[in-house]
Amino acid sequence: MGCDGGTIPKRHELVKGPKKVEKVDKNAELAAKWKYCALSQEKLRRPIVSCELGRLYNKDAIIEYLLDKSAERPNAEAVTHIRGIKDIKELNLTDNPEWEGERRTTKGDRYEDIHCGMFICPVVGLEMNGKHRFCYLQTCGCVFSDRALKEVKTDICHKCGDLFKYDDLVVLNGTKEEVEKLREKMGEKRVKAKTKKSKKNKAAETVSTPSESKEEAVFFERGGPPRVDGIEDTQSPPVDVAGRSSLQNGDESSQSDVAGPSGSSTSSKDAQSSTASATKRSIQDMEGKSEAFKSLFTTHSSAKRTKDQTSNWVTHTPYHF
């Protein structure tokens, strides 16, 4: 079991000491933040978006996450604060002319600059590789370096010309303290938005309730439905609170009480039959219509069958011969 052939083992080969603490490579950490999506861990490609905490994502990955939040993802904790498409902003980035990307093949025959960034600041020209601090505007989405904003102090965007406030600036991939400040700011904005929505709903309810109360008051004062286009309904009798119509003549009310429900039903049937007989009119009796037009209908004499043409029993009544 070992020590064969006269080998002499050393102490560090037999005794294992405490493990060394693994340190994160700074270059790998910067590349992970500034060159890869914080959700899908894939390379950043346009369109690139950022959240209110300053993290970089591929827009396709965010849309897939919003469509199906139950799916398993490698780093889903980084997007728990994103509720919808309104919580992200598409970035207006400036390409780096020295960035070759996938066009260059790494053969090992020349020096490869790891810190070369895909995008640069349009004002100063600094590369967005993690060594310099970069910010973006929530109003237009343009990205600048912190040095450019300090050297050229204006309220107008350097790239698109839109007005902005310094409260609209969001630091990209900031430190833990900066991320905590952005998180507090995000919470305050969402609370303000909720209060505005509640105030609008209350205002809409207060506007709708007075109009309804006015219509009800007019209804009870007039004893009927409210006026339409300023015309008062004089035919409808006054209505009491119980909903019964009070007639001026006592005889009519007594007769209706004696007649009961049967009398009311018969009177309604007579009225319906009289109106139906008044409205129904045969097309064959119309004087202005021709015979060709009248022959199109089944009430015409040509459509009627004789006894010879009819059978003993018929399951249906076709109107063709």
Taking only the tens place, the pLDDT of each residue in 289-301 is: 888 888 888 888 7
* pLDDT number for residue 70: 85
- pTM of the predicted model as reported, rounded to 2 decimal places: 0.56
Classify 6 in phi/psi space as left (phi over 0), alpha (psi -120 to 50) or beta: left
Q: Which band of pLDDT confidence, cut at 50, 70 and 90, is reported for residue 239? A: very low
Write the pLDDT tens digit of every residue in 146-167: 999 888 888 888 888 888 888 8
**What span, in angstroms and rounded, lies between the C-alpha atoms of 183 and 180?**
5
CB 145 within 8 A of CB 126: yes
Alpha-carbon distance values, 33 to 128, 150, 185, 251, 271 (Å):
11, 24, 22, 94, 85
What percent of the chain lies above the pLDDT cut of 70?
Answer: 66
- The SS3 assignment for 197 reads helix
Q: Which band of pLDDT confidence, cut at 50, 70 and 90, is reported for residue 184? A: very high
* pLDDT number for residue 249: 44
Q: 126 or 287: which carries more pLDDT confidence?
A: 126
CATH topology of domain 26-100+113-174: Herpes Virus-1 (3.30.40)
* pLDDT number for residue 257: 46
* pLDDT number for residue 63: 93
Q: Which residues of 96-154 form beta strands (DSSP E)? A: 119-120, 134-137, 143-145
Say what the alpha-carbon torsion angle 228, 234, 239, 245 is, to the nearest 10 degrees: -130
Q: Which residues neighbour 139 within 8 Å (Cβ) at sequence distance 6 or greater?
A: 157, 162, 163, 164, 168
Question: Considering just the CA atoms, what is the radius of gyration of the chain in Å?
Answer: 43
* pLDDT number for residue 254: 41
Q: What is the mean pLDDT of the chain?
A: 75
Q: Tokens 């370096």 correspond to what residue?
A: 145
Say what the alpha-carbon torsion angle 296, 302, 305, 308 is, to the nearest 10 degrees: -150
Helix (H) or strand (E) holding 294: helix 291-294
DSSP per-residue string spanning 154-177: -SB-TTT--B--GGGEEETT--HH
